[in-house]
A and B are shown apart, each in its own frame.
Chain A
């Protein structure tokens, strides 16, 4: 399957590149734009980005393998990220994570992101989301949720169509 970047996305990327006197600096922003469109960053996407920024593929690949938010495989349609760091843990983050896993048939003890068989949900623990005063907190894709009780969690899942 060939990898094609639609014209409007490419235009957006070209604009991003103008923000920097050195093209390479645009890498992260370009990868964000690509991931937003395709949902993940494939090998072809890495090569396309490298070419676009006049880099070697390894220069882009080493970013994809380092930054936790960049995905090397497709994820669920709804990505649930539960903060697991101290203030949230004190506020019940582990119980919340377990609740999601049990509800969606995933393993609460498994390491890293897990996706349901139907590809609808990905659940993972993430580190402090900078909202420790309203623990426990979580994100579903770009949306942020605070003080998430189990009832609220069910509601959030219910709204994911």
Chain B
């Protein structure tokens, strides 16, 4: 039976482990930073020299680390795109907006081990010649913001931050910036606009790739909290050692946020791909199974934006038929199965769940959170939510299932500025495709009930007449 592999959350839940710097130092804290700062230039065979920061970037590339925020993009590659010749300052922003429904892993790190994040950030900044960095934390985490501010002060007092860090000649300052309750601030260019003091309207790419034209039109790195923590461990253990964790192309660990209808919801850190979705839900080491007497109905595998899996669904992966529950929980398998591990949040729904209601809930989220710049996203997300509201309030129609898909199909695929377009369409497309009967039946039942009601001389009858006279 697979079990947890705790790299990032190694100490977080240990009794007596506290978020202050003394406790962190007692557990080997800031040793990786000291190691990073002490790296000597290396002579290359061609006579060139590789600086310490370059060596760290090399290690991160070798580690195979992929972003933990949602897209799973190679961290080393992202850093390699940074424009280092522009002469402009390079900024780093930690994305601590954690707002993808179902996700609660960054909260654990921030609340229980903030110095790990700060150490990861300082090393990442040193590796990329960054002298000013921000932690963008969602507004609804005021305690997290206070904890981070205190941790930053402690780090400054020990000269892990500030001028001439540990006598190495390197300067770095770091500040906490709070959001104010808008999901779109998690999208990296929306985040940058928000940090600049504007509405968080995502920017169009190209040309506004953060690595080239980011914060104040300067090269900018945006990484998730968990990604940045990993950098500390990559420096501590070396990129190749790190790459031995997990599975090929899916290296390291991931903190899985498990919620919904399981006995033991919570955060479980696993080696990527070394546990299946089924194990995460049912094994005693993880979710511990469904509530007694319940059967599995559906699983959202990567935050609410990810396409839903239906219990019993089978996929062809590398010519083998694989049941949904037997999919290894990693980046690539879930993409092959037509969904994604996204922010590594698994939401479990048992057979007590009203699937139409669940989608209505998700659709309401997206309708509320669309920033409104792009017509397909702004209007589409609202229409879908309204149709689903009708369907869940006795006003549905049998044709609503097709109507929903028609709207959803017209949002993604390059019609919008940011990936929110995809994020709001995918749940609708997948829920309706996989549970179509439930949507059609519900609409048909509503129609039947309304038809029955309007027979006889009730108010329904009058309305019907009034409507037909308009033609």
Contact = CB atoms under 8 A, between A and B. Distances in A.
A85 B304 contact: yes
Contacts of B107: 130-131
Contact of A132 (B102, B140, B178, B196): B102
Range of interface residues on A (Cβ < 8 Å) = 35 or more
B83 to A, nearest CB: 18
A87 B178 contact: no
Given A69-B180, A86-B358, A133-B257, A127 B197 contact: no
A86 B256 CA distance: 17
A130 to B, nearest CB: 5
Interface in A1-40: 19-22, 24-29, 31-32
Contact of A144 (B138, B143, B349, B361): B143
Contacts of A69: 139-140, 180-181
Interface in B16-57: none
Interface residues of B, number: 54
Given A27-B197, A69-B140, A134-B265, A127 B368 contact: yes
A87 B180 contact: no
A32 B178 contact: yes
B72 interface: no
B365 interface: yes
Interface string A41-59: 0000000000001000001
Interface in B84-139: 98-104, 106-107, 132, 138-139
Interface stretch (A60-68, A114-122, A151-159): A60-68
B265 A90 contact: no
B175 interface: yes
A139 B141 CA distance: 10
B195 interface: yes
Nearest to B265: A133
A75 interface: no
Contacts of A85: 101, 304, 361-362, 365
Nearest to B97: A130
Contacts of A32: 139, 178, 180
Contacts of B99: 127-128, 130
Contact of B199 (A24, A63, A130): A63
A129 B107 CA distance: 10
A59 B227 CA distance: 33
Given A22-B196, A85-B362, 15 more contacts: A28-B194, A29-B177, A53-B197, A63-B199, A66-B199, A69-B140, A86-B300, A86-B362, A87-B347, A129-B140, A130-B103, A132-B102, A132-B257, A133-B266, A144-B143
Interface of B: 98-104, 106-107, 132, 138-143, 175, 177-183, 194-200, 216, 257-261, 265-267, 300, 304, 345, 347, 349, 353, 357-358, 361-362, 364-365, 368-369
7 A-B pairs closest in CB distance? A67-B180, A27-B197, A69-B181, A132-B259, A68-B181, A133-B265, A24-B197
23 contacts: A21-B216, A24-B197, A28-B177, A29-B177, A29-B178, A31-B180, A32-B178, A67-B182, A68-B181, A70-B180, A89-B357, A89-B358, A90-B259, A127-B365, A128-B304, A128-B365, A129-B140, A130-B103, A130-B138, A132-B103, A132-B347, A133-B259, A135-B265
